[in-house]
Structure 1
């Protein structure tokens, strides 16, 4: 059986909790209509959406599925996702600590993951196949300091830790969450290993976000390498990484380019070259049509065809990934980034990220 798996950062967030839901409720939101048109064009069987609000009822995720994805528009066929999993997130949850060191608590930068309200920038999975919710593993509460050889941020001037011991011992690794979500496809199970690490910017010389981004990605390397690791403890208290014979897809907006940008590229390079991972290198023709006036793009060394996001004056980057395990035969792969003359080009204005998809054969 062939299935198409995709990731898409849709940038659906507001300034207050509930704002996005209210904006979408009548089914007429122009941004969401464009996002749905992309989904209906690529037609993934399993879709991870980054940057969608989380509520315990999954209200926003269900709303976009029912009032946008499942509604035919502009000659495009609707697509139904009977199975939805909305993931809770560290974003906007106050840590009770002064994480940015400005002697003030309760700010967006003092949340376990940056956010102005709980559930902002979260994730949801939409699937045509059953989601094994009983066996989902989450690592929302996993401590950064529990990861061996963690990149603890240091002040380069004083050579002292940016976070004092009392804070470092409580910090969570995941800026949103790390998910292992089993999808049941006939007799086979595929584990979606989903995350959305913090961008490696918006910090100072200590590079605290760069360090965290690196370790959020490296978590998956450890998860694939160490099926018996006692230090990999999920939110239910179960330990260990992924079994060595399990089929999987690592996916999400990982906010890391292996060749360009301000991040620490070692972790994403390790993941891309991992012995269990197949990098199909999804590409597009549209990404190569860079703005000739964009000096940042001109300085990049990565293959422009592989880029998945347009960050304006900062340039184009490859930051969104769908990486299947090697026992899943890759049939096709791509990035939805049409050329300028393509009539679908206007759709990509809905987000600064592009949908990345991979089609695989499930044994």
Structure 2
């Protein structure tokens, strides 16, 4: 399937098979686009300046059956979707990656979420309009035809290329106020795990026939170029698998590490990135002079949880990446009130972005990141996690993750 314009003047690119067809997008009749983003916190952002707010939010808009999210969003009264939309409206990012948003071939869920929720005032908040959007197929729920959990049968979520009950479950959606250069989008859904040199595949768990067929990305990895006049910002979006729900072989912890490593290698153009081939067959990483931001639910805390040692440090300590460390007072309050595993954590609770089970654990963790390239100047950061009784505190239960944002000034 080639990139196409939805009926709502918003560009949604889709990938089918191995390649994103390099077809130029054609303008469709467009409705008026919203003015500059609402200012939130310090440091202005929006169309009126070179400062841009970029956010990631695992919104938990996933459902247990194909088509259920479309049904839930077909009217404007789904309680969870209204909460998610209000959180986005309150923070008004110029670009936002939504993790765990079920993907459908016709992009109906994406259109419905914008029309019925984001473009409708939620409890007095200003609507947000995203004329541009990108989504594409993911590996979750795609049958592999192999017995990947070694239980003697083939089929079900554990035997998909990425865990999921149907293709598109736990998908991703990028929304933007600014144009997406679809001709330059790169996706890495089909990249083989075995193609990564010195990978962590547990070869004593997977059979010799399975190893060369395993895909690296549990969902997908996307390089989505967003344009601001003559300036381009590469949005590097992904959602690595949780390093849990496995056995002593730690197959998910190993995969999580290598999914994170893919972006680390992608940002080292040259020999380090030679193995990286996108779904269109183009080899190599991102040029050294390009501006970018890595964002998503990485399912990896720097010091706590079940991650493979050093997993997220591959990005946090990367020479081309800066870590602005967004924080919130609400996370500190929650960790103190909930106790359990939180009391033993080494990462400071102010940086937590998720509210997970506390007893027996893993407790609240920092797993959601917005990591800009070092050439961008950070002007503001935040995690939307109000303290109990503060305005908006009743919204955070929409997901077990919190929206994280970083404002950057473009070159």
TM-score, length basis structure 1? 0.97
* Structure 2: gaps of 5 or more residues: 1-49
Match of 1:158 in 2: none
Q: Distance in 2 between matches of 1:273 and 1:293?
A: 31
Q: Secondary structure at the match of 1:331?
A: strand
Q: CA deviation at 1:293?
A: 4.8
The structure 1 segments of at least 4 consecutive aligned residues displaced by more than 4 Å after TM superposition are none
Match of 1:272 in 2: 316
Match of 1:180 in 2: 223
Change (3 A) 1:265 1:258: farther
The CA deviation string for residues 296-344 of structure 1, in whole angstroms up to 9 with x for no partner, is: 0001000111100000222110000000001111000010000112031
Match of 2:7 in 1: none
Q: Distance in 1 between matches of 2:260 and 2:322?
A: 16
Contact 2:326 2:406 in 1 (8 A): yes
Q: Distance in 2 between matches of 1:361 and 1:64?
A: 29
Q: Distance in 2 between matches of 1:28 and 1:106?
A: 35
Match of 1:236 in 2: 280
- Is 2:141 aligned against 1:92? yes
Q: Secondary structure at the match of 2:381?
A: strand
Q: How does 1:143-182 map to 2 (within 5 A)?
A: 143-153=192-202, 161-182=204-225
Change (3 A) 1:38 1:227: farther
Contact 1:195 1:254 in 2 (8 A): yes
Equivalent residue in structure 1 for 2:346, among 292, 301, 307: 301
Q: Distance in 1 between matches of 2:382 and 2:218?
A: 27
Change (3 A) 1:293 1:10: closer
- Higher mean alpha-carbon deviation, 312-321 vs 284-293, is at 284-293
Q: How many correspondences in the alignment?
A: 357
Equivalent residue in structure 1 for 2:256, among 213, 220, 223: 213
Q: Distance in 1 between matches of 2:150 and 2:377?
A: 48
Q: Secondary structure at the match of 1:243?
A: coil
For the aligned residues, what is the CA RMSD? 1.0
Q: CA deviation at 1:25?
A: 0.6
Equivalent residue in structure 2 for 1:134, among 183, 203, 220: 183
Change (3 A) 1:319 1:293: closer
Q: Distance in 1 between matches of 2:108 and 2:337?
A: 42
TM-score, length basis structure 2? 0.85
